Amino acid sequence: MIKARTAKFQIGQVVRHRIFSFRGVIFDIDPEFNNTEEWWLSIPEEVRPHKDQPFYHLLAENAESEYVAYVSEQNLVPDDSGEPIRHSQVAEIFIKDKGGGYRPRNPSLN
């Protein structure tokens, strides 16, 4: 049995990937890995994250595109740039707060 850890980041927080150049806002959190085995095995073994950590669903963006990403906690760091997220779905889910983060439009959904 995998022992789940407490999430380091929260819904609405802006984060960036530790290795790859993308950032995003968290819209959901899995306390432990909750994707397919095929997805997990597609990650090269030398960089494959452990399953016993929180995984985050992000409205993500890089210089070229916007997409949804699923990222392990070990690969995220806070993004303190204050720059808004341009992802087209942000306004559907969040309201921008004064601190540079986002808060859910409908908090009862989470």
| Predicted confidence (pLDDT) per residue in 33-92, tens digit | 999 999 999 988 988 999 999 999 999 999 999 999 999 999 999 999 989 999 999 999
User: Is residue 22 assigned to a domain?
Assistant: yes
User: Is residue 9 assigned to a domain?
Assistant: no
Locate the DSSP E strands across 1-110.
14-17, 23-30, 55-61, 66-72, 76-78, 94-96, 102-104
User: Is residue 79 assigned to a domain?
Assistant: yes
What residue numbers bound the domain in which 40 lies?
14-109
- Helix, strand and coil in the chain, % to nearest 5: 15, 30, 50
Contact of 6 with 16, CB cutoff 8 Å: no
In eight-state DSSP terms, residue 33 is: -
User: Is residue 6 assigned to a domain?
Assistant: no
pLDDT at 100: 75
User: Is residue 7 assigned to a domain?
Assistant: no
Contact of 87 with 66, CB cutoff 8 Å: yes
User: Is residue 1 assigned to a domain?
Assistant: no
Give the count of domains, the chain.
1
User: Is residue 52 assigned to a domain?
Assistant: yes
